[in-house]
Each structure stands twice: as structure tokens, then as C-alpha cells.
Structure 1
Amino acid sequence: MNVQRFTAATSREALAKARQAFGEGTLILSNRPTANGVEVVATAEDSLATLESAVSAAGSRSGNTPQRQPQAQPSYREVASKVEEDAEQLAMSTLSFQDYVRERMLRRRAEAAQVQKPAPTAMPAPMPVSAEPVQAERPRPTLTQRIAMDIEAQPQRPSTQRKAQATPQAPAVNKIVMDELHAMKELIEDRFNTLTWLGQAKQNPIQSNMMLKMIRAGYSPTLSRAILERLPEEMDASESVRWVMDVLERNLRTDADLPSLHEEGGVFALIGATGVGKTTTAAKLAGLCARTYGPGSVGLITLDTYRIGAHEQLRAYGKMLGVVAHLAHDKAALQDLLGLLSNKKMVLIDTTGIAPRDPRKRELLELLDLPEIKRLLVLNAGGHGDTLDEAVGCFKGTSSQQVILSKTDEAVKLGPAIDACIRHQLLLRGTTTGQRVPEDWEPAVAAKLVRSSMRSTGVSAYDPKTSDLGFFFSQPANTTAHKGRMDA
């Protein structure tokens, strides 16, 4: 093996001399400072390869561990260990040799450890080493905790640190999971009850036909099922129709036992959505009061400053009845007018038509927030059930809500309006049937309204068939829609 020493003032010059001697395949064996500068021990890469092949051939011929050369083997180990130190101290650029020496040293250490290790036995698979400190063993998680961990792990597997941070929030997660499980349990029970009820309804043709008749009349599946679940089984078709109509009549609240609005008197504000007929209804009530107690017993106020011609329309109605219509722009003007008209038998306030989702609705309700004002909600009898529900919910007051059904002559089906009044426990004070003032006003008669709603209107594209009843009850019933007690 050709090994030479090169001495120079700096390590750069010594490395240059070594490369001049051995070429590009120069291997640096050592590098140390001396009194004269830097001493570098180097050899050629071919010499080291020749040495390795000779040692391997000798070992294969002898069949045992090859004999050590007098000086090559010890010097190689010493040089290898020294190169590690020199590489760390001087940061030499001979990366190829350093990698080679590291590889051989690691291989030899592994072989030595394998020889010293006892015979292998069945051992469990090693657990992954965690970078966190060892903690005390935690109790086994419950079923709810395992479900919570599975739900959290579904979108993305959290790291160990993230799990440790989420541990204090376990009670909140458990509560959410328990709420979800209870909701799922209620949903499953409701679905099974619905399927059971539908099976019984199919076996009972009278109950099935009555359900179909009520839904075709515009009643909601929630109210229809609540009534027909109490239908006696021994009734025939005609008796079941009378029984259902009787239940609807008893649950529809009207002012049959109370004085009519113009006889009761007081301050009434008519509220509702745009186009439901508030101004015409106010004129009809004013006409009834003026015809009974004289024109001087009625006061008219309008708050509608948005709609063009609103004040002129009410003023025209008032002029026809001999009553002056006043305009109030704000709450102070309204209070002044109420004080001026305090001696009147009946004061009617016509308000601006506001959609339930209009932000101006709050301003209107605050303007009418006076103790002497009673609110009358005007509902279009021909409106859709969802539209009526939204209007009732948005204009609902703290006291018992009083309503007037307008345009009953234009309604194809009265079922949705009667259904909304029953489910929301509204007090029906009257109905309007046309544009004539005040002739087209009718008191609220439950029997008449229910009979009109149950009349057959002919074939409609929106009427379901018997086979479609399952679709109406495929969703869970809205149990919060009917909070009152059903009088069956």
C-alpha cells in the first residue's frame, strides 16, 4: 500500500501536494498540525481497493478469519478512528472517504453486537418511540370516548401533541356525542313509529282515505296525523268525516263567545306582510263601527309613508264614511294622535306592509310598542302554509295573537290557513271576502270555515295519491309546530 506524508504551511497546500502525487482519486488518511505547519497522510484510492481484495482472498482460502497483516490492519483502525476526529475538528472536504469509514465502522459494530447478543427469542414488535416524556398509564377509555376519538380521527389523524392538547376538552366532546346519539335515537324511533303508523293506515282504508282527503284540502301532515291517530276504529266513512270536522271545529279558536271587534272597541293596529289587505280591512272595520255608533266614533291613523298613495287611499275610504284619516310619521306623532282621539269608540291604525325578513320590521314593532295598542295580524287566506307559518312567527307578540283572514274568496284551499290557526293557537276575529266596504266582512264561524275547507275542489296537479303518502311522512314530524293541546 503506497502511503505518503505531505507537509506544508497550510492544509490547502498539503492537499494540493497530495492531489499532485495521486491524482483525483486521492484519499486523505490523516491531517494534523505540526511545528512546521500541517502534515497530511494520503494514499491512492486504488491502493485501498487492492488491500481489501487481498484480505478477502486470503480469508476465502484459509476458511477462517484472515490473518492480520503486520502493519496494515492496526494502522487502518487507528487511522479510521482518527479520521472521524479530524473530520469534525478541521471540517475537511474529503467527504467520500469519511462516508466510507463511517459505513465500515457501523458495519463492524453491528457485527460485534450480533455476536454478543444471545439467541433470538419471540419478542413483541417494538413500539414506536415517542418524543414526549413517559406518563402514567391512563384508564381505558369508555365507549363514548372511543366514539369521540374515532370521530375526531376521521378527517385527519392528529399528532400525539394534538391529542394531548385535546384531552382537557373531553367532557365537552362527550356531551356533544351524547346529544348526537340521543338525536339519532329519537330520529330512529320516529321513523319506526311512522312506518308502523303507515302500515296500520294501509290496513285501514277509511283512515288512509281521510288522511288523503285532509292533505288534499291543504292541511299539514303534522296536524293530519295528530288527528287521525285518535280516530276510532269502529267508525264508517261518513262518521269519520264528521268526527274529523268536529275535531277541527273544536280546535279552531274564534271570537264566537266574545263581542265583535267594532263592538269591543279600543285601539287596533293592523300588521302583516305587503298586499294582504290591511288598508281595506281597516276601512271595513271603520265602516262597521260608523254604521253602528256613528262616524264620530271612529278614528283612522296611517303609518304607511313608504307606499305611494297609501295615505290617499285611506283618506278616500274615510271620506266615504265621513271619517278623517290622520298621518303619523313617528312615535311621538302617534302618541299625540292617540291622545287626540282618546274619546273615540274605535281607533284603527293602518301600518306599512313589511315582509317577515325585512329589517324594518323591528322599527315597526317598536313604534307600536304602546300599552293601549292591540295588534291584529292580517293573513292572506290563500297563502302557502310555509308563508303563513313564517308570518305568524315573525309578527308574534307576547300576548294571545289575534288574526284576521283576508281574501277568503280568492283562496282555492282554506286548509293551510285553518291549519296555521290551529297549530299556533291563534284567535280568529273575522274574515274578509271581497273589496266592498263594509259589506264584505264576515264573523269567524268555525263550522262554516271547516266545511268550506273540506269541500272537494276537483282534480289538481298538486293533489297526492294514496301511494304518495309515504313521501309526506318520510321526514320526522315537526313536534315544535304544535305546542297546544289537541282537543279530540
Structure 2
Amino acid sequence: MNIQRFTAPTAREALSKARMTFGDGTLILSNRPTASGVEVVATGEETLDALDRNDQQARQGQRQLAAKTAPALTANPDSQVIEDTAQLAMSTLSFQDYVRERMLRKRHEAIAAQTAAPAMPERQERPAAPRAPVPVARAASLQPGIAPIQVKKVAPRAPAPAPVSVAVSAAPSQGIVDELQAMKALIEDRFNTLTWLGQARQNPIHANLMLKLIRSGYSPALARTIMERMPEDLNAAAATHWVIEVLTRNLRTDAGSSAIHDEGGTYALVGATGVGKTTTAAKLAGLCARTHGPASVGLITLDTYRVGAHEQLRTYGRMLGVVAHLAHDRAALQDLLGLLSNKKMVLIDTTGIAPNDPRKRDMMDLLDLPDVHRLLVLNAGGHGDTLDDMISAFKTTGMQQTILSKTDEAAKIGPALDATIRHQLVLRGVTTGQKVPEDWERADAANLIAMSMRSPAKSAFDPKVADLGFFFAQSSPMQPEQFHA
């Protein structure tokens, strides 16, 4: 047997020496640090081949010896010679057998890991324990004339699953069913959209009106809802007139009732920062004071966060001959409302709050008082998504009232009108500038829709006819109860 030791300052040098001796078939048996460096014990594959041949010869000799001694052992069933022989064989393993068994075991584990990884059974049986050598007495019972011993094997049973495991296993199945249903609905919606777009593109009137609505700032959801209900036998002029009439009919205003400053009441102006709440409050106060006198108006501000907010409202009040009050908390607000209860109109200016501002809930709770109506101020030039977030953040039960501010600064008022229509808000007025109180107009649906549908100047954000598919691919029409065609 050719096993050698190699010592070098580093493990790499020791391995190099071993490879120089045994070649590419070098097998490393052990390595350990020593005082003089690293010691490596190595051998070659030829040594293992010789060991395999010697082991096969030894096993063949053991089988021949067992065959010769078997008749003598069967005569004495109570003898323990076989067990003693097995223990003796296990205790006399040579170093060569140890090396061979170790290398073969590593190879078998690697092969088993590769073959067992692709397919694992759902339920694995417990591996059977190694059985001891069969005693000669049991072998003798299988001779002719002697009835064999019937041994009933009892397989280990797994414990019955608890009812909780059944519920847990059923949950993923229900989740898969829900996902499949959602996928089915999504596919059907996409097919319906593609079919609808194909039909609309075949009609140039429909295609031009869809493009006009999108360029005017209206959302794909509202535009699709309108175009799906438009009669097919209309010419270009009649189709345009029909679309404008539908939009005008669905834009809710207070045209059928008294103006807000004539109606009176207590209103809290809410909205984002910089949309013009304070200026709008001053305009409403000026309109009411012009009609009913300065003593008919009460002004309250809750804006203690913005620098100079109270002074701005107080300045407007001095111009109109109205005193502006400051309320720091809910108790002060209730006291002021009681003090001003005889006024025709009481206007409450609030702090500008973003939709995700944590102070929004506190302010909404502060305004949750009897006979206090919330008046949402929206920037007419705001982005459609921004307006949607603001409306959703300040939505209340009952009638939703709003005012569009800064219409003179808006390049397109289509997004603001679209959000007002989709959320079914009641438009109480629009502001057209900074003059108090002159730059104020009542909400006229026909004028606002006509203004939004005027052909604006060309913009880099305007879509092309070929881009309509991208706009309508993710849109679904509005619910029937939200729109009246």
C-alpha cells in the first residue's frame, strides 16, 4: 500500500508535492498543522483499486468459509458463533478498509443527492433499521416438513391530521380560486376594451371625440363611459353637441337654488395648502356683507400653523368691516360659534392639510360639530390624481360641496370638472382672480363645460390617435348609478 506524508510551510505547497508524486489521481486522506508547517497524508487511485481487489478476495474467502461451517452450525441452533464472528469482523477492520469505505460513502452520498433532488415523494416512509443476521434456528424452520413461522409486519402509522391542518390546507385552495377569478375578470375586461377600441377606431367621429376628451383633460374612465353610450347614427356636429350636453347634465351645481352667500349658514373651508381658502373666505364674506351688511358676517380662523394666517384674514376683515376671530381648540371654536350664532353667514378658515398629513384627522374631528358644513376648495389647475386624492381625503357623508379656485391660472379645467363629475360633488362657485370680492362667479355648468372643451394650445402632453390604446387599456367605465347619459 502506497500512502505517503508530505510536509511543507503551506497547505498549497504540500498539495503540490502530493500531486507531483501521485499525479492527477491524488487522494488526500488527511491534513493537519505541525510545528514545521502543514502535513498532508495522500495516496493514489491505484491504491484504492488494489484495496478493492483485496477486499473482494477477502469477502469471497469469508463466504466460502461460511458455506463450509454452515452445516455444523445448523446442528446447534443455540450457538452464538455467528454473532461472535460478526463482532470479530467489525473489530478487525484494517486502515485500508476504513479509507475505502470512507471514499465510497462520499461518492454514494453525492450520487444519491443528485438523483433524489428532482422528485421527492409526497410521503416518505421511515427507513427500516438494519436487521441482524438471521439465526440458524429460524433458517432451519424453513426446511421441508416444518411449518414456517408467520411474522406479521406492522407498518408505523402517522398520526391522524388535526382539523386545524385541514382548514389551513383549504385556505390556499380558496386563494387560488380567487386569483383565478380575478384573472378571468381581468382578461374579460381587456378583451372588452380591445373590442371597444377596435369598434371606436373604425368610426372616425368616435375616435376624434375620444381624442378631444383626453386632450381636454378628462379621464379615460369618464371618456369611455360617454363614448359607450353615444348613439352611432350621429354626425360630427351632433355627436359633439351630444357629448357637451351629457357632460353639462352630469356636472352638479347650485344653479337651481340660491347662491351660497344668499343662502347663508356656517361653512368650514378645507383643502390643501395654497389653494386659496383664505381668499375664498374673504370673497364669500364680501359678497354676504355687500348684500346683507357687514354685521351679517362672522369670520373665524383655525390656522395657527401658517405664519401670518390670522393677520391675513384680519386684514380682509378690516377691508370689509368684519372682525376676524382666532380659535385655538374645539372649546374656543364652540364658544365663538355660539357668539356668532345670530350671523347670516359664518366662515371658518382652516389650516392647509395634505391628504397623508397625520393632522388631518384631528382637524376633521374638530369640525365635526352640528350645522357646520365643509366646503372643499380645489385648485382648478391641479393634476387629476392630486384632485382625486384630496376629494377622497376630505370626503364626508351627505352632500359634498366644493369650490374651484384659480380658474384663471388653469391651462385646462377638464381634470377638475372630471373629478367633480366622477365624485358627484356639488359645485357652489368658482374664483377667477385675486380681487375681493369681485373675482367670483356662480357655477354655470354649460359655461364651464364649453370652456373645458375649447381647443387648447398644443402641448407636449397631448396624446396622438395611436396612443389612445395606452390610455384606455387600464380603464373601466363608470358605474351606471354614477353617470346619466
Is the pair's TM-score, using the shorter chain for normalization, greater than 0.5? Answer: yes
Counterpart Cα distance in 1 of 2:318 and 2:176: 66
Other-structure match for 1:37: none
Equivalent pairs counted in the alignment come to: 382
Q: Residues 128-277 of structure 1 correspond to what in structure 2 (within 5 A)?
A: 132-133=157-158, 166-277=165-276
Deviation at 1:184, TM superposition (A): 1.3
Other-structure match for 1:342: 341
Other-structure match for 2:279: 280
Q: Residues 312-351 of structure 1 correspond to what in structure 2 (within 5 A)?
A: 312-351=311-350
Deviation at 1:177, TM superposition (A): 2.3
State whether residues 264 and 345 of structure 2, in contact with CA within 8 Å, keep that contact through their aligned partners in structure 1. Answer: yes
Other-structure match for 2:295: 296
Larger radius of gyration: 1
Other-structure match for 2:484: 487
Q: Residues 22-61 of structure 1 correspond to what in structure 2 (within 5 A)?
A: none
Counterpart Cα distance in 2 of 1:358 and 1:54: 84
| SS of equivalent residue, structure 1 residue 400 | coil
Other-structure match for 2:473: 474
Deviation at 1:246, TM superposition (A): 0.3
Does the C-alpha gap of structure 1 residues 191 and 130 become closer, same or farther in structure 2, counting only changes over 3 Å?
farther
Counterpart Cα distance in 2 of 1:67 and 1:421: 105
Counterpart Cα distance in 2 of 1:71 and 1:182: 77
State whether residues 300 and 325 of structure 1, in contact with CA within 8 Å, keep that contact through their aligned partners in structure 2. Answer: yes
Q: Describe the superposition over 1:244-283 as per-residue Cα deviations: whole angstroms up to 9, x where unpaired.
A: 0000000000000011011001111100011000000000
Deviation at 1:459, TM superposition (A): 1.1
State whether residues 423 and 483 of structure 1, in contact with CA within 8 Å, keep that contact through their aligned partners in structure 2. Answer: no
Deviation at 1:329, TM superposition (A): 0.3
State whether residues 301 and 350 of structure 2, in contact with CA within 8 Å, keep that contact through their aligned partners in structure 1. Answer: yes
Q: Describe the superposition over 1:399-441 as per-residue Cα deviations: whole angstroms up to 9, x where unpaired.
A: 1100000000111111100100110000000000100000000
Deviation at 1:172, TM superposition (A): 2.9
Does the C-alpha gap of structure 1 residues 180 and 68 become closer, same or farther in structure 2, counting only changes over 3 Å?
closer
State whether residues 220 and 475 of structure 2, in contact with CA within 8 Å, keep that contact through their aligned partners in structure 1. Answer: no
| SS of equivalent residue, structure 1 residue 299 | strand
State whether residues 425 and 484 of structure 1, in contact with CA within 8 Å, keep that contact through their aligned partners in structure 2. Answer: no
Amino acid at match of 1:203: Q
Deviation at 1:94, TM superposition (A): 4.4
1:81 aligns with 2:83: yes
Counterpart Cα distance in 2 of 1:318 and 1:69: 122
Counterpart Cα distance in 2 of 1:339 and 1:53: 112
Deviation at 1:70, TM superposition (A): 11
Amino acid at match of 2:464: K
Other-structure match for 1:146: none
Does the C-alpha gap of structure 1 residues 424 and 131 become closer, same or farther in structure 2, counting only changes over 3 Å?
farther
Q: Describe the superposition over 1:315-338 as per-residue Cα deviations: whole angstroms up to 9, x where unpaired.
A: 000000010100000011111111
Counterpart Cα distance in 2 of 1:418 and 1:426: 10
In structure 2, the gaps of 5 or more residues are: 1-53, 102-129, 143-153
Counterpart Cα distance in 1 of 2:288 and 2:220: 40
Counterpart Cα distance in 2 of 1:311 and 1:294: 23
Q: Describe the superposition over 1:42-87 as per-residue Cα deviations: whole angstroms up to 9, x where unpaired.
A: xxxxxxx99x78986x98xxxxx98779999999x96442244689
Counterpart Cα distance in 2 of 1:355 and 1:453: 27
State whether residues 295 and 323 of structure 1, in contact with CA within 8 Å, keep that contact through their aligned partners in structure 2. Answer: yes
Other-structure match for 1:407: 406
State whether residues 423 and 484 of structure 1, in contact with CA within 8 Å, keep that contact through their aligned partners in structure 2. Answer: no
Pairwise CA RMSD: 3.7
Deviation at 1:473, TM superposition (A): 1.8
Amino acid at match of 2:338: G
Does the C-alpha gap of structure 1 residues 360 and 55 become closer, same or farther in structure 2, counting only changes over 3 Å?
closer
| SS of equivalent residue, structure 1 residue 320 | helix
Give me the identity figure in percent: 62
Counterpart Cα distance in 2 of 1:341 and 1:381: 32
State whether residues 376 and 404 of structure 1, in contact with CA within 8 Å, keep that contact through their aligned partners in structure 2. Answer: yes
Counterpart Cα distance in 2 of 1:215 and 1:399: 31
Q: Describe the superposition over 1:218-248 as per-residue Cα deviations: whole angstroms up to 9, x where unpaired.
A: 0000000000001111111111111100000
Amino acid at match of 1:230: R
Amino acid at match of 1:342: S
Q: Describe the superposition over 1:94-152 as per-residue Cα deviations: whole angstroms up to 9, x where unpaired.
A: 4559x99xx9x99997xx99xx9xxxxxxxxxxxx9964387xxxxxxxxxxxxxxxxx
Q: Residues 56-75 of structure 1 correspond to what in structure 2 (within 5 A)?
A: none
| SS of equivalent residue, structure 1 residue 374 | strand
Counterpart Cα distance in 2 of 1:323 and 1:169: 68
| SS of equivalent residue, structure 1 residue 425 | coil
Counterpart Cα distance in 2 of 1:329 and 1:173: 53
Amino acid at match of 2:211: L
Counterpart Cα distance in 2 of 1:54 and 1:371: 101
Other-structure match for 1:440: 439
Counterpart Cα distance in 2 of 1:55 and 1:450: 103
Does the C-alpha gap of structure 1 residues 131 and 387 become closer, same or farther in structure 2, counting only changes over 3 Å?
farther
Other-structure match for 1:375: 374
Counterpart Cα distance in 2 of 1:168 and 1:351: 52
Deviation at 1:477, TM superposition (A): 2.3
State whether residues 218 and 416 of structure 1, in contact with CA within 8 Å, keep that contact through their aligned partners in structure 2. Answer: yes
Counterpart Cα distance in 2 of 1:276 and 1:130: 79
Does the C-alpha gap of structure 1 residues 377 and 339 become closer, same or farther in structure 2, counting only changes over 3 Å?
same
